[in-house]
Amino acid sequence: MRQLYKNCKILTEGRTVTDGFLAICEDTIESVGETRPAGDFDRERDFSGKLLLPGFVNGHTHTAMTLLRGVGTDLPLQKWLFDKIFPVEAKLTGAEIAVGSRLALLEMIACGTTSFSDMYFFPWEMARAAEESGIKANLNYPVQSFTPGETYAQNESARKMERFYQEWNGRGNGRIRVDCCLHAEYTCQPDVAAGTADFCRRKGGRMHIHLSETKSEHEACLAKYGMTPARWFAAMGVFDNPTSAAHCVWVTAEDRALLKEKGVSVIHNPTSNMKLGSGFAPIPAMLAEGINVALGTDGAASNNNLNMPEEMHLAAVIHNGYHLDAVPVSARQVLDMATRNGAAAQGRGDTGMLAAGKKADITAIDLDRPHLIPNLDTLGLLAYSVQASDVYMTMVDGKILYENGEFLTLDKEKICAEARETARQLYQ
């Protein structure tokens, strides 16, 4: 099918086209520009007053935790985690995870997310839900090992990770990919980490990890191993694979040099880092050093939503406040973090920007809102003014998943009702 979107603003490589045309052939962008492409179209749509931009990539989340949204509000971190979150998580089975995953998909698709990287138990449930919905996803099963001296061969979670990889990687016409995953340094024995890295290398896969999220985690690793978590992961061979490292709040200058050298992508989660009191990741330094920085929401338990425009907004302003400087992170950098850098972190070089030959993964913003007038600077508008509710359309591989408040691949009423009922049973 050949589609044409016309009379709209289009954010393309390094510039904004006004009154532009974007043509799509099947799942791929055919052209972007000021002039109408030749030939006939099966679908031709007037998108006056709309802005087309690359779909958002949520680079790090725990989607099914939507069911834990609002658990233990305003408690200190350890009390929140051990007294509130873990007891609820212990009750979760595949049935609840399926419901929480679909609830998360509603929220993500409505805010313009076209791809996400998910770390959670029961990824089979999310894989099925994501495949049905039409969204792209890098999913993983997080390997953990708490028994001192445990080997990779002995570890049960590693078997699940391998099985999930074999069963799901590349399905849905490549929309679903499976990454290898180590939850974190403090939840893993060395041999299990090294074995996971080795499995990943043999498969030609990608790694996803939590890295130096909190000060205590960072310092405990130094005390235990005499090296930082980044150095430890490097020693385990993890960084010999393309890796996404979430948080990186407490990484040192030496750690950053290592991440840069190894081509590790940093996934910045500003809301979660603020809400949980984790601290300010050195994002301006990372950007200056040329590290690939992407953006994530983290889970809804620590956010408390999965809203990429909100995440862009926080990433755009909090570092200014912290550094007493109005310019450490630019609007352009924030947009790149939320789109092309996220696509790069996922190993999806065929998307993340609107240009001929790239996949048609597109978010449309309705500019006809009082809070988006005047539009003097489209990038600034996106970083500082746009809200998730301004998303008019979400498209993946040329297929519309959401438009004007309607979901085309998900049953919103059914999912919301199931989520309410599941939460009622979980917390009764």
**Interaction residues for its own copies, span 301-340 (CB under 8 A):** 303-307, 310, 313-314, 316-318, 320-328, 330-331
174 belongs to the binding site for its own copies (CB under 8 A): no
CB 110 to its own copies: min, Å: 7
Q: If binding is defined by CB under 8 A, does position 80 make contact with its own copies?
A: yes
**Structure tokens given for 387:** 């809200």
Q: Provide the minimum distance between the beta carbon of 306 and its own copies in the complex, in angstroms, as a whole number.
A: 7
Per-residue H/E/C for 70-100: CCCCCCCHHHHHHHHHHHHHHHCCHHHHHHH
Q: What is the DSSP string of 308-338?
A: HHHHHHHHHHHHHHHHT-S-SS-HHHHHHHH
Q: What are the C-alpha distances in Å from 284 to residues 263, 281, 315, 339, 378?
A: 17, 9, 10, 18, 22
Instruction: Decide: is 423 part of the binding site for its own copies (CB under 8 A).
Output: yes
Q: Which of 14, 290, 371, 428 binds its own copies (CB under 8 A)?
A: 371
Q: By CB under 8 A, is residue 85 in contact with its own copies? A: no
Residue 374 interacts with its own copies (CB under 8 A)?
yes
Site for its own copies in 277-296 (CB under 8 A): 277-280
What is the total count of residues that contact its own copies (CB under 8 A)?
72
Q: Considering only 1-9, 113-121, 218-226, 276-284, which stretch makes contact with its own copies by CB under 8 A?
A: 276-284
Q: Determine if 275 is a binding residue for its own copies (CB under 8 A).
A: yes
Q: Residue 86, interface with its own copies (CB under 8 A)?
A: no
Determine if the peptide bond prior to 375 is cis (ω within 30°): no
Please tell me the distance from the alpha carbon of residue 129 to that of residue 114, in angstroms, as a whole number.
14
Query: Cα-flanking dihedrals φ and ψ of residue 194, to 5°?
Result: -65, -40
Task: Report whether 316 contacts 383 (CB < 8 A).
Answer: yes
| CA dist 194 → 140, 165, 218, 222, 284 (Å) | 17, 17, 19, 19, 31
CA atoms within a 13 Å half-sphere pointing along the CA-CB vector of 306: 36
Residue 125, token pair as written in the block:
């449930």
Site residues for its own copies, 207-236, by CB under 8 A, read: 215
Name which position in 67, 129, 137, 251 contacts its own copies (CB under 8 A): 67
Q: What is the DSSP letter of 50?
A: E
**Contact residues for 424 (Cβ-Cβ < 8 A; gap 6+):** none
412 lies in the site for its own copies, by CB under 8 A: yes
Find the binding residues for its own copies in span 376-405 (CB under 8 A). Answer: 376-377, 379-381, 383-385, 387-389
71 near its own copies (CB under 8 A)? yes
Give min distance, CB of 427 to its own copies, in A.
6
The smaller minimum CB distance to its own copies, of residues 73 and 93, is found at 73
Q: Is 107 in the site for its own copies (CB under 8 A)?
A: yes
* Stretch of 14-22, 105-113, 228-236, 355-363 contacting its own copies, by CB under 8 A: 105-113
- Give the separation between CA 415 and CA 252, rounded to whole angstroms: 43
Q: How far is the CB of 107 from its own copies (least distance, A)?
A: 5
Whether the CB-CB separation of 106 and 407 falls below 8 Å is answered with yes
* 246 near its own copies, judged by CB under 8 A: no
146 binds its own copies (CB under 8 A): no
* Residue closer to its own copies, measured from CB, 307 or 346: 307
- Give 21 or 407: the residue with its C-beta nearer to its own copies: 407
CB 377 → its own copies: shortest distance, Å?
5
**Rounded Cα gap, residues 139 and 55, in angstroms:** 18
Name the β-bridge partners of 361: none
Considering the complex, state which of residue 163 and residue 215 has its C-beta at the smaller distance from its own copies.
215
Cβ closest to its own copies, residue 285 vs residue 379: 379
Give 354's contacts (C-beta < 8 A, 6+ positions apart). 10, 11, 12, 13, 22, 29, 32, 52, 53, 54, 362
